[in-house]
Amino acid sequence: MKVKILRQQAPDTEPYWETFSYDGPQDNTVAGILDYLNYNDDITDINGNKTSRIGWECSCLQGMCGGCAMVINDEPSLACETFLRDLESSELIIQPLKKFPVVHDLVVDRSVIHENLMKSDIFIGEFIPSGVKDNEHQYSLAKCLKCGLCLEVCPNYVNGKTFFGALFANDCYLVTARNNARRKEIKKAYNEHFGKDCSKSLSCMDICPMKIQTIASIAKMNKI
Amino acid sequence: MKKVLIIGSGISGLSCAIKCAENGVYALLISPFPSERSQSVMAAGGINAVLSDCDNGDSVECHIEDTLKGGSYLGGKKSVSGLCSRGEEIIKYLERIGTVFSTDSSGRPIRRAFGGQSHKRTCFCGSSTGKQIVSALIMEARRYEAKGLIKRRLWSDFHSALIHDGRCFGALLFGEGTGRLEAVYADAVVIAAGGQNSVFGKTTGSTQCDGYVSGKLFMQGVELKNLEFIQYHPTTIETPQKKMLISEAVRGEGGRLFYNENGRRVYFLEDKYGSRGNLMTRDVLSREIAAAKKEVFLDISFLEKKEIDRRLPEVRDICKKYRGIDISAEAIPVSPSVHFFMGGIAVHMNHETNIKNLFAVGECASMYHGANRLGGNSLLAAIYSGWVAAEDIAGKESSGKAENFTETEEKENAALKSRMTTKSNFPVMYIRDMLAGTMCSKLGIVRDEATLGEGLADIDYYLSVAEKINYDASVLPYFNYSLTGILTLSKAIITCAVNRKESRGAHFRSDHPESRDELCYSSIISYNNGSFSFRLDKEHEYES
């Protein structure tokens, strides 16, 4: 199988395509394929030319940490959860997430996610229940990986300068649900950085590896 | 203002940073990636605490006794008492900062049964307790980040500690962006780098936890403790990618282990140990499963589907996604796998090492779990140890003494540069893979002197070539400079296993199958210029 990867040596260098040949196990995930290409043998491109090892980020290898988010055959996904058997193409094309600066190859800098949450004071502080009985929704919100997939597919998210995206909206609701006293100030930040610009495409919900129901968070925030 | 450098941003590192900030101490939190990528998010089952509305007959004393007994009485009584007595305070704290616990209709945390415990005292958040706690702690840390009391530095890797005359002054950090080592000074350094999973290859844990920090500190004079005690989790599922944990929560909810024989199910643990057979401690279960020499299954399909969906959704998803198994209809094939390290950096009760101002917390420190850890005690210890270290640091007078390590910084930068200018592309991962093969095959659930000796010989060979090979300049320099530390730690682990000539907890020697009272002490290993020195802590010097 041909594996085409968009590579970039450093943040300030030009990206370029490199193609590899994969002949490993067919029940593998894309994460497994990257590992196989990197360390099954000396790494060469499809023409047998020696090349450098492919940079990518991983930690848990089982869909719990969000490290390996990348664009796989045009679909933003977690590499450790994307199985070869489910791909409809005979060719695998892998690119880094496009809405974040590239650090190296498939590794991107997603620190804007945390910075936006920090500068908007998105923290619970003290548990003062709102009285809404939706523990299951709150549980699912706290499972957000901050992987950035929801931002990657969002038609409204550009670079995080003003619009902060679905993960921000979900964290806003989690804070209001867990600390009733902060409802008003959080609602203000929510309106400013999400509510007023979200066009409700809801592509964020289809892509979310944790299946977080952002629309439920939006509906609940609208009631505040 | 006092400054603390914390290496690692999982639950113990975050807890320590927050407690420092609460006490007006500035915390610099170092990690290559954000806390969401830490191994802590993978902790599934729960966190133990005796709450005021506990089971009839339960008490903090019972929790202490269960912990000591589960650890074959190697955990120190004073330190374990400290841990268990703050259980309720820790749960209340986690509730206060907004952790989404699984609760009953009155909002109280539900508790489930866990292995080796006399009462139900494991609070939980579905089967993603670690992740839920991490999310709450990240939010709380963010509050202090906004105030400037906590600062995160990402894309940074530990290189070495700045130690002079038995005292730590900071650490040399590698900046992945700058490509350089930088000396960062602090009043205290806290190591919260996790266990050494990846010396065994792909285990249930994170690929990021490789033991380098412990290995390097060992080479710099820090003593390590109880390294031979490695917990094999009895129930993991094999996938093409790695072995994945099937949480103890499944057995806590009534899950039964069996194998098939002559067309019928044999519930071999219940046959041998009675009704609580499936909830024996992890060391016992792992040995029993290995001894069965048959494919073993874990059945929870008798539980109503809606209960599985409510209480075990993550286990349901892992089995479905990676193996196509519907746990509400069929049993899960399971086998033991390396999961947790009871051993690690030796620390005193304040979590300070034998080097002044150098602390270790969380899984990389060895303190409470003795020869075997009870499920639900690691999350408790991660938070507790972070607090203890922070409180000690906050309460101490700053020495005000400064040392200059500019020369060390320059020397190490030059060494790194010369290593990285190589044209070779020999990947250090080849040796890491060979090491994992050695560790898995020579340091299994059942050990003996001859096999351990083969392991030592393998590692000695890897060490003999480690400094001679030309490294791959196309991977992160961290992978290259970390190899010797990782190999040295691995050698120390096997050395401890060779020297403990008895069976206790997770350390089972087929050539010494009995426990020996005269060996009921923690083991300590130290390093001096390439030589290893092993002793038993008969004076309980670290229980102080």
Per the CB < 8 Å rule, is B139 touching A122?
yes
Q: Which residues of A touch B39 (CB under 8 A)?
A: 59-60
Domain of A214?
Answer: 111-222
CATH number of the domain to which A158 belongs: 1.10.1060.10
CATH number of the domain to which A52 belongs: 3.10.20.30
Residues A40 and A121 in one domain: no
Cβ of A32 under 8 Å from any chain B Cβ? yes
Number of folded domains in chain A?
2
Instruction: Please write down the HEC assignment for all residues of B462-491.
Output: HHHHHCCCCCCCCCCHHHHHCHHHHHHHHH
> Residue holding tokens 């869909």?
A63
pLDDT given at position B152: 97
Residues A7 and A97 in one domain: yes
d(CA B415, CA B34): 29
pLDDT given at position B426: 81
Query: Given B131, B135, B154, which is nearest A111 (Cβ)?
Result: B154
d(CA A130, CA A184): 12
Task: Walk me through the domains of chain B, giving residue ranges and CATH numbers.
Answer: 234-337 (3.90.700.10), 417-533 (1.20.58.100)
Phi, psi of B151 (to 5 degrees): -130, 135
Per the CB < 8 Å rule, is A103 touching B155?
yes
pLDDT given at position B419: 83
Query: Given B96, B206, B427, which is nearest A59 (Cβ)?
Result: B206
With contact defined as beta carbons under 8 Å apart, do B194 and B6 qualify?
A: no
Residues A88 and A183 in one domain: no
Residues A141 and A82 in one domain: no
d(CA A153, CA A211): 15
pLDDT given at position B113: 86
Domain boundary among A75, A108, A141: A108
- Residue from A84, A100, A87 nearest A160 by CA: A100
With contact defined as beta carbons under 8 Å apart, do B158 and B173 qualify?
A: yes
**Chain A stretch 163-222, residues whose beta carbon is closer than 8 A to a beta carbon of chain B:** 171, 174-175, 178-179
Cβ of A114 under 8 Å from any chain B Cβ? yes
Q: Find, in chain A, the residue whose alpha carbon is nearest to that of B202.
A: A61
- Residue from B482, B476, B510, B495 nearest B199 by CA: B482
Would you write out chain A's pLDDT as a tens digit for each of its 224 residues? 999 999 999 999 999 999 999 999 888 999 999 999 998 888 999 999 999 999 999 999 999 999 999 999 999 999 999 999 898 888 999 999 999 999 999 999 999 999 999 999 999 999 999 888 899 999 999 999 999 999 999 999 999 999 999 999 999 999 999 999 999 999 999 999 999 999 999 999 999 999 999 999 999 999 99
Q: Which residues of B touch A63 (CB under 8 A)?
A: 321
Cβ of A42 under 8 Å from any chain B Cβ? yes
Residues A25 and A45 in one domain: yes
- Residue from B215, B87, B221 nearest B162 by CA: B221
Residues A17 and A49 in one domain: yes
Distance (Å) from the alpha carbon of A80 to chain B's nearest alpha carbon: 8
Residues A216 and A147 in one domain: yes
Residues A85 and A154 in one domain: no
In which element (H, E) is residue B380 found?
helix B377-395
pLDDT given at position B407: 96
A167 phi-psi bin (left φ>0, alpha ψ -120 to 50, beta other): alpha
Query: Given A62, A171, A175, which is nearest B242 (Cβ)?
Result: A62
- Residue from B457, B544, B506, B452 nearest B230 by CA: B506
- Tokens for A175, please give them: 């804070």
Active-site choice (B121, B256, B282, B504) = B282
pLDDT given at position B468: 84
Per the CB < 8 Å rule, is B241 touching A31?
yes
Domain boundary among A90, A108, A126: A108
pLDDT given at position B208: 93
Distance (Å) from the alpha carbon of A201 to chain B's nearest alpha carbon: 27
Residues A125 and A218 in one domain: yes
Per the CB < 8 Å rule, is B146 touching A118?
yes
In this predicted complex, what is the ipTM? 0.97
Cβ of A50 under 8 Å from any chain B Cβ? yes
B509 phi-psi bin (left φ>0, alpha ψ -120 to 50, beta other): beta
pLDDT given at position A42: 86
Where chain B has pLDDT below 50, the residues are none
pLDDT given at position B418: 86
- Tokens for B320, please give them: 């479905």
Distance (Å) from the alpha carbon of B389 to chain A's nearest alpha carbon: 23
Q: Which residues of B touch A67 (CB under 8 A)?
A: 33, 37
Query: Given B128, B143, B155, which is nearest A123 (Cβ)?
Result: B143
Q: Which residues of B touch A36 (CB under 8 A)?
A: none
Residues A97 and A31 in one domain: yes
d(CA A107, CA A21): 21
Q: Does residue B287 have an active-site annotation?
A: no
pLDDT given at position A215: 98
Residues A123 and A203 in one domain: yes
Domain boundary among A108, A125, A151: A108
Residues A48 and A78 in one domain: yes
d(CA B515, CA B372): 14
With contact defined as beta carbons under 8 Å apart, do B489 and B220 qualify?
A: no
Q: Which residues of A touch B37 (CB under 8 A)?
A: 57, 59-60, 65-67
d(CA B294, CA B292): 5
